[in-house]
Structure 1
């Protein structure tokens, strides 16, 4: 039996417990994953296994199932990211940096859902007076939406059990208190127990549960890794101070596709939808040397993004490579391919590369756009009209068709782009396409 004031160490990744600290977890081999917790006063052995009755096994053909109707909020970007709305009895967690707008977004969502469903909003971080002030500022005052500032899990569970709402929002799980737990609120041990209890609450009471969660300084969701496995959906809200827009991304979704993106704009009245994000992105693009548009697929949505390259003669023995928004190795690889086949010594130049708007994108479809941006900056030649590049480049210098190429080209044509560079096998007669078979063909673009 452990003493009341005894301490144990628990792995935040796999939950392994030990009486002493390890640099590397013996179970999952993760480094620096142990956190300190209070040891439980005693370990009670349950006799439930002796008295447990066997369960009834059933065939899938015997189960009466029907397509569950999703809970639509009416906020298109939110519903898109969730795969068409909130699934009943689902467990969703929304994470993001402090002050990014998690509570603001959920206030808007709760207010819209409350028009047709019963919604309970539990705030463990704000008082009821503070909630009313924020709701007034966001114009989310509704008699159909019910609030509480209770943080005790037992009280939340009893309230849900009595009233059986359709949707329950809890902001946030880190400040929830599990009364009988020996761990402190927000610790790995208590978060692990809360995640398990909340999961059972959602499934047993058939309630759609949405929680907010904090993130670590590394950008990962705070808490044990197994919490991500327990929940049905993980959403991540991101943005930066310079860009007042916010991106909502699906990290995990049992009921829909992952990688979906929703866009919002932060204003004095909270978050508003950016339904036509491509029109917004294209509004401030200019034709300058080193700048080109790429058509990139995020989830099921094609995006027209501007990539920018700056190639200058290096003053150092080892040229600089400053790259943001795309994979570092991808830009270095494309520069090496161009140097090998076009005999342009990029190894003697500093390369600075970024994606406009603070986006982080990846994929081989970006290869052709990266190559054209590098060459445009090197030759100091700008296109006389907006140009979109879509294609993959092999190590042999061949330009290959892009995945989802037809959809990406259609999106460019939809917004009036008349200069589209693609692989020869993907050229479309209906679009203003210019085909490239090899990297040598790219040079003709600058003639």
Structure 2
């Protein structure tokens, strides 16, 4: 067997990108990540060639035309909104990574998934490395997630968790979280990049060998990215992100990666004192209530594949300050500044003499350009002190030339608007923002006797 000698010249290696250096540094010189440079494994200095092994008949390479294209059977998790994000259910042997900010409700959601899966007839093993079994039991009592087929274990040792798998033989494994579990086969404390990689690799190997779906909870860094080595996201089959605002009870689950389904689905949940509840139709959450008010307009936004009506509110106030205030909440401030410039130049609205406040209802954040026209209409109606009649919505992207561009999935937005009772939708058919504002004037609600007339 042919051999050759090699020398070790770089005893330290970055676990993220593989960059090597002769001495330890706190920050990788290639990917600029902190704390990822670790001591490389000692090499023997001998590289041996690998002998070829004939594959078995089951693993032999076949023409792609002979590969079975039938869908992999899925099993429902019992939570319809979670199944929607996964693409229709949990695939046997799938490795799912769920990340999110601390306190957003990841453990509460997965405890509900575990309880519903147990009620459906499957055995579930919930391994918690952050809480004791008594703490998990107390939360399960509060949320109504008690079931005899739901097994709890408070472990941070990988070998012990694998022993629990052999003993319980679950149909679903939940590990909360992967950053709290350590393996004796790897150096470093729990949460170290090498430990996270070793623990995830071992659990995913067990998942593939036993057709056991595994859900791993992942921590996030202060910038919102998943903590640990980037290889963790490559190893798993599905990456989901659980997000929400602490000031509101609404929560979203988004699929960032999915080998078994689409990545543009969104699951909606409502965090309550009794646990987490599904919101199959969140349309009413982002709409105001009461009589029409000047300075409001509804747009149809897309969250993944889901069309949602969102009310935009604007308020304009006369000012003598040389620099009028521009305050936004739930929308992009730079986008609002551009819309104000377009209204000032193309629609001849004297907005440079007014403070402008723009916000959304329900804590939702609008980031797509399709909300431009609704923001413009809300600002113009606040300036004119006119309210839109019920059942009127606006969809469209504004250009600097004052034109209205069509938006993606326009037919789906119109269908959702019609389902919710919006009989009038102003969009790109008006061509310019001036024409759209004139069209909106025709749909103005009767002026209130308490409001002053517009300019």
* Mapping for residues 98-109 of structure 1, pairs under 5 Å: 98-109=102-113
How far the C-alpha of 1:439 sits from its partner, in A, is 1.2
Question: What is the TM-score when the length of structure 2 is the normalising length?
Answer: 0.84
Q: 1:324-359: CA deviations, max 9, x gaps? A: 323333222222222221123434544332222222
- Candidates 66, 72, 83, aligned match of 1:68: 72
| 3-state SS in 2 of match to 1:50 | coil
Asked if the contact 1:15–1:224 (Cα under 8 Å) also holds between the matched residues in 2, the reply is no
Q: Which residue of 2 aligns with 1:270?
A: 275
- Range 60-69 or range 92-101, more displaced: 60-69
Asked if the contact 2:25–2:37 (Cα under 8 Å) also holds between the matched residues in 1, the reply is no
Q: Which residue of 2 aligns with 1:432?
A: none
- Candidates 297, 302, 318, aligned match of 2:302: 297
Asked if the contact 2:26–2:37 (Cα under 8 Å) also holds between the matched residues in 1, the reply is no
Asked if the contact 2:26–2:36 (Cα under 8 Å) also holds between the matched residues in 1, the reply is no
How far the C-alpha of 1:137 sits from its partner, in A, is 1.7
TM-aligned CA distance change 1:234 to 1:355, over 3 Å:
farther
- Candidates 332, 338, 350, aligned match of 1:333: 338
Return the alpha-carbon distance in structure 2 between the equivalents of residues 159 and 49 of structure 1.
Answer: 38
Return the alpha-carbon distance in structure 2 between the equivalents of residues 211 and 186 of structure 1.
Answer: 13
- Range 185-194 or range 77-86, more displaced: 185-194
Return the alpha-carbon distance in structure 2 between the equivalents of residues 286 and 87 of structure 1.
Answer: 48
Asked if the contact 1:10–1:34 (Cα under 8 Å) also holds between the matched residues in 2, the reply is no
Asked if the contact 1:249–1:259 (Cα under 8 Å) also holds between the matched residues in 2, the reply is yes
* Mapping for residues 227-242 of structure 1, pairs under 5 Å: 227-242=232-247
How far the C-alpha of 1:68 sits from its partner, in A, is 1.3
Return the alpha-carbon distance in structure 2 between the equivalents of residues 99 and 123 of structure 1.
Answer: 15
* Bigger radius of gyration: 2
How far the C-alpha of 1:161 sits from its partner, in A, is 5.3
Aligned residues: 428
How far the C-alpha of 1:138 sits from its partner, in A, is 1.6
How far the C-alpha of 1:100 sits from its partner, in A, is 1.5
Return the alpha-carbon distance in structure 1 between the equivalents of residues 189 and 228 of structure 2.
Answer: 13
Return the alpha-carbon distance in structure 2 between the equivalents of residues 443 and 372 of structure 1.
Answer: 7
CA RMSD of aligned residues (A): 2.9
Q: Which residue of 1 aligns with 2:19?
A: 16
* Mapping for residues 30-69 of structure 1, pairs under 5 Å: 31=32, 33-35=33-35, 39=39, 42-43=42-43, 50-51=50-51, 53=53, 55=55, 56-64=60-68, 66-69=70-73
Return the alpha-carbon distance in structure 2 between the equivalents of residues 338 and 285 of structure 1.
Answer: 28
How far the C-alpha of 1:238 sits from its partner, in A, is 2.0
| 3-state SS in 2 of match to 1:72 | coil
Question: What is the TM-score when the length of structure 1 is the normalising length?
Answer: 0.86
| 3-state SS in 2 of match to 1:178 | coil
- Candidates 311, 316, 324, aligned match of 2:316: 311
- Ranges in structure 2 where 5+ consecutive residues have no aligned partner: 1-6, 443-455
Return the alpha-carbon distance in structure 2 between the equivalents of residues 45 and 207 of structure 1.
Answer: 39
Asked if the contact 2:182–2:196 (Cα under 8 Å) also holds between the matched residues in 1, the reply is no
Return the alpha-carbon distance in structure 2 between the equivalents of residues 273 and 82 of structure 1.
Answer: 15
Q: Which residue of 1 aligns with 2:97?
A: 93
Return the alpha-carbon distance in structure 2 between the equivalents of residues 440 and 342 of structure 1.
Answer: 5
How far the C-alpha of 1:65 sits from its partner, in A, is 5.1
* Mapping for residues 167-186 of structure 1, pairs under 5 Å: 167-186=172-191
How far the C-alpha of 1:226 sits from its partner, in A, is 2.9
TM-aligned CA distance change 1:57 to 1:252, over 3 Å:
same
Return the alpha-carbon distance in structure 2 between the equivalents of residues 303 and 350 of structure 1.
Answer: 29
- Range 78-87 or range 251-260, more displaced: 251-260
TM-aligned CA distance change 1:45 to 1:76, over 3 Å:
farther
How far the C-alpha of 1:283 sits from its partner, in A, is 6.1
| 3-state SS in 1 of match to 2:65 | helix
Asked if the contact 1:96–1:237 (Cα under 8 Å) also holds between the matched residues in 2, the reply is yes
How far the C-alpha of 1:21 sits from its partner, in A, is 2.9
- Ranges in structure 1 where 5+ consecutive residues have no aligned partner: 425-435
- Candidates 309, 320, 327, aligned match of 1:322: 327
Return the alpha-carbon distance in structure 2 between the equivalents of residues 358 and 49 of structure 1.
Answer: 60
Return the alpha-carbon distance in structure 1 between the equivalents of residues 278 and 392 of structure 2.
Answer: 27
- Candidates 144, 149, 158, aligned match of 1:139: 144
Asked if the contact 2:324–2:354 (Cα under 8 Å) also holds between the matched residues in 1, the reply is yes
| 3-state SS in 2 of match to 1:302 | strand
Q: Which residue of 2 aligns with 1:212?
A: 217
Q: Which residue of 1 aligns with 2:4?
A: none
Asked if the contact 1:385–1:419 (Cα under 8 Å) also holds between the matched residues in 2, the reply is no
Asked if the contact 2:326–2:356 (Cα under 8 Å) also holds between the matched residues in 1, the reply is yes
- Candidates 429, 435, 443, aligned match of 2:437: 443
TM-aligned CA distance change 1:316 to 1:89, over 3 Å:
farther
Return the alpha-carbon distance in structure 1 between the equivalents of residues 278 and 355 of structure 2.
Answer: 39
